[in-house]
Amino acid sequence: MRINADSPVLAAEATAATRAGRALDPVSGVAGGDRLEISGRAREVAIAREAIQQLPPVRAARVASLRDAIQSGRYNVPAEAVAARILAGNGWG
């Protein structure tokens, strides 16, 4: 979709701004006095998005291989190994 100065929406906004006694900036299409505030949540989302972009690429072949092994029942991890890793991760071993 292309948005340009001939947009009916922009024309309607300009008319509404004129009626309200505000001048509409012809370049930005924003009425004088309007402002944009970004919420704390939006900032958090932006930071998370940047962090995700910094992650290494997913090894798709490895993920597909593991998915196939799990679905076919060939993927088996000893319960003792799982328990040991959980305990070690919590500082118990």
Q: What is the model's pLDDT at position 21?
A: 55
Q: What is the model's pLDDT at position 38?
A: 79
pLDDT in tens, 4-25: 556 666 666 766 666 655 555 5
Q: What is the model's pLDDT at position 67?
A: 94
Across 11-25, 49-63, 70-84, least confident range: 11-25
DSSP state of 27: T
Report pTM.
0.32
* Residue among 47, 67, 70, 46 nearest 58 (CA): 67
* Residue among 11, 13, 31 nearest 22 (CA): 31
CB 22 within 8 A of CB 32: yes
Cα(84)–Cα(12) distance, rounded to whole angstroms? 66
Q: What is the model's pLDDT at position 73?
A: 94
Q: What is the model's pLDDT at position 70?
A: 94
